[in-house]
A and B are shown apart, each in its own frame.
Chain A
Amino acid sequence: MTTLAAPPRDNTVAGVMRRVPWRASVVYIGFVLVFAFFSITQTEYFLTSTNLTNIVVQAAPITVMAIGAVLVLGIGAIDLSIGSTVALAALSTAVVLETTGSWWIAAVAGLVVGAAVGATNGFFITVMRLPSFLVTLASMGLIAGLARQLTDLQSVPVLDSTFVWLFGGGSLLGVPILIWWTVAAALVGWHVLRQRRFGAHVLAVGNNPRAAQVSGILVNRVKMAVFIVSGMTAALAGILYDGRLGGARYTLGEADLMTVLAAVIVGGTALTGGKASIVGAVAGSLLMSMINNGLILSGLNVSQQMIVRGAIILIAVSLSLRGKKSQ
């Protein structure tokens, strides 16, 4: 107990290696490695500015969802329903746009659908005290069914030019609008998690709910808010798909749950709650998008892409749990 004031720094190679926070750096190391790999193997097209821009643009919906997922994992929960929420919100938005002709009413409607999904999840998790895994597993199927029911499996076109500009094809100061959305979502997410009391409460709830409670944090209110945000970020992702693809279909977001979780976990957010990184999640989303892009350029088919993505999630989860400090 006496030599605690300033332990001498171990400056040997082994000491320095030990100090590097490997778990938090996995995403950046992976990013550089994957980038180098595709730059070398896909020389013709990968490094073109069109392709690099495309990687970021393609990542937009995933990044937006990842912000919500960081908060959900931050409280030590999980939201499996985000993928189907994308489809339901995208279709609702498209239908409202078709009937009202108003781009903003349509967007608000989509966000309200997302918030309602999140509030429903939150109700069962807080008031009914059910595990988030089971609740959102059930709602995932339920919402996917609703999305199919809503338009009877039909696609809905999105033709409104303002809507398409704002949520998909537009650009501002020479930068595609979807990149602006990504930056905005990341900044808001970072501010909320790192600079607001709410963010501190999220991490406290995820790390030690009892400590949070006896410290006067309203644990259930925090959980409810986080699930509503998660529903809304999924809805915004759906709206961005509407804008970019010019239409909505019940298959939207189908594969996104896996991608988002992989991005967030590889980005240093712990599955066990209490440790979360927005910057890491954004880097993770870009990494996933880059892998996707590179695999397509490499000529892999959809099945092979799924296999590679699954393998990446396994690696990410192993690293996330292996690095956990023993108490």
Chain B
Amino acid sequence: MTATPTITSPLRLAGISKQFGAVTAIQQFDLEIEPGEIVALVGDNGAGKSTLVKIISGLYQPTNGEIWISGERAELSDPSDARARGVEVVYQDLALVDLQPVYMNLFLGRELTRGPLRTLDRARMARETQELVDELDIRIPSARAQLSDLSGGQRQGIAIARATHWASGLVLMDEPTAALGVAETARVEETILKLKERGAAVLIVSHNMEQVFRVADRVTVLRRGTQVGTRVVSETSHNELVAMITGLAS
């Protein structure tokens, strides 16, 4: 499971650093994620997790280092570059449109059209959405339901389904269950594991140590911008991770 450098890994980060003026937010970060692998990114508040996600999603540009996506060196100057390379992000605030049906959220910005007038093909969008949510086992009343009628967990499921639908290789998730209850968290985690079955590479930022042990294959720890280490989840312990995160021997 250790990073064997294959040319086609969905994501490879080599020596990524990011400085904001005199402040170093990220220092020498390396990571490679294989298809079908879930890697958790953990660390205390302000450790640089969000900065790293923003770098991979194209919102920030690294000061140093290389990003390789699906075997190609990528210069991401804005989020559309990352999207064009098949990187999708599930944002903490979900970035959904409440007053639209589920299917419009799934196709937001990439709506399907038909005919010479290029009118919206609502029927096809609804059908494809239904197929996808069925496949991911996200239980919603209907693909045509208005988003504001769904629960928090269902909405999170839709956000993940959207990312899955468009991601050709890599899905980034920033605290995907931070706002959810226990039962809803469990369902969202099932959805995340479904992504793995489909062969997507997932990088998940989480504060929840139990969650890391439940879903992730490997975990990498950031402390004040420095990558403390990467562990295979089955070969580490809760205590070891906490010690790595806090920098205190336990």
- Please indicate the chain B residues that have their CB under 8 angstroms from the CB of A18 in the complex: none
| A207 within 8 Å of B (CB atoms) | yes
Whether a CB of chain A sits under 8 angstroms from the CB of B139 is yes
- By a CB distance below 8 angstroms, the chain B residues around A5 are 139, 141
Contacts of B237 in A (CB 8 A): none
Q: Is A53 an interface residue (CB 8 A)?
A: no
Interface residues on A, range: 20 to 34
B237 to nearest A CB, angstroms?
31
Q: Which residues of B contact A4 (CB under 8 A)?
A: 139-141, 151, 154
Within 8 A of B (CB), among A177-200: 191, 194-197, 199-200
| A192 CB, nearest partner CB in chain B, Å | 10
Interface contact A212-B108, CB-CB below 8 Å:
yes
B91 CB within 8 Å of chain A: yes
Determine whether the beta carbon of A214 is less than 8 Å from that of B97.
Answer: no
Give chain B nearest CB distance to A204 CB in angstroms.
Answer: 5
B120 to chain A: closest CB distance in Å? 6
A195 to B153, CA, bound (A): 30
Q: What number of B residues sit within 8 Å (CB to CB) of A?
A: 33
Chain B residue with minimal CB distance to A201? B109
Contact of A215 among B93, B95, B184 (CB under 8 A): B95
Q: Check B141–A6 contact: CB distance below 8 A.
A: yes
Cβ-defined contact, A214 with B95, below 8 A: yes
Pairwise interchain contact B108-A217, C-beta atoms closer than 8 A:
yes
Enumerate chain A residues within 8 angstroms of B100, measured Cβ to Cβ: 200, 203-204, 207, 274
Contact present for B97 and A274 (CB under 8 Å): yes
B113 nearest CB across to chain A (Å): 7
The verdict on A105 contacting chain B, using a C-beta distance below 8 Å, is no
Contact A200 B153, CB 8 Å, known A208-B96, A216-B80: no
For window 86-101 of chain B, which residues contact chain A by CB distance below 8 Å?
89, 91, 93-100
**Whole-angstrom CA separation of A231 from B97 in the bound complex:** 27
Bound complex: CA A2 to CA B187 (Å): 11
Find out whether the CB atom of A327 lies under 8 angstroms from the CB atom of B139: no
Q: Is A325 an interface residue (CB 8 A)?
A: yes
Is A274 a contact partner of B93 (Cβ separation < 8 A)? Answer: no
Tell me whether B120 and A210 are in contact (CB under 8 A): no
Q: Is the CB of B120 within 8 A of A200?
A: yes
Whether a CB of chain A sits under 8 angstroms from the CB of B104 is yes
Kindly identify which residue among A1, A7, A195, A208 contacts B120, using a CB–CB cutoff of 8 Å.
Answer: A195
Report 24 cross-chain contacts, Cβ distance below 8 Å, ordered by A residue: A1-B183, A4-B139, A5-B141, A7-B141, A191-B119, A195-B117, A195-B120, A196-B119, A199-B120, A200-B104, A200-B108, A200-B111, A203-B99, A208-B98, A210-B95, A211-B94, A211-B96, A211-B97, A211-B108, A214-B91, A216-B110, A274-B98, A275-B99, A327-B98
- Which B residues lie at the A interface, using CB under 8 A? 79-80, 83, 89, 91, 93-100, 104, 108-111, 113, 117-120, 139-141, 148, 151, 153-154, 183-184, 187
Give A contacts to B, CB under 8 Å. 1-2, 4-7, 191, 194-197, 199-201, 203-204, 207-208, 210-212, 214-217, 274-275, 325, 327
Instruction: With A195-B119, A204-B97, A216-B80 given, name 8 new contacts (CB 8 A).
Output: A1-B151, A196-B118, A204-B104, A208-B97, A211-B94, A215-B110, A216-B110, A325-B148
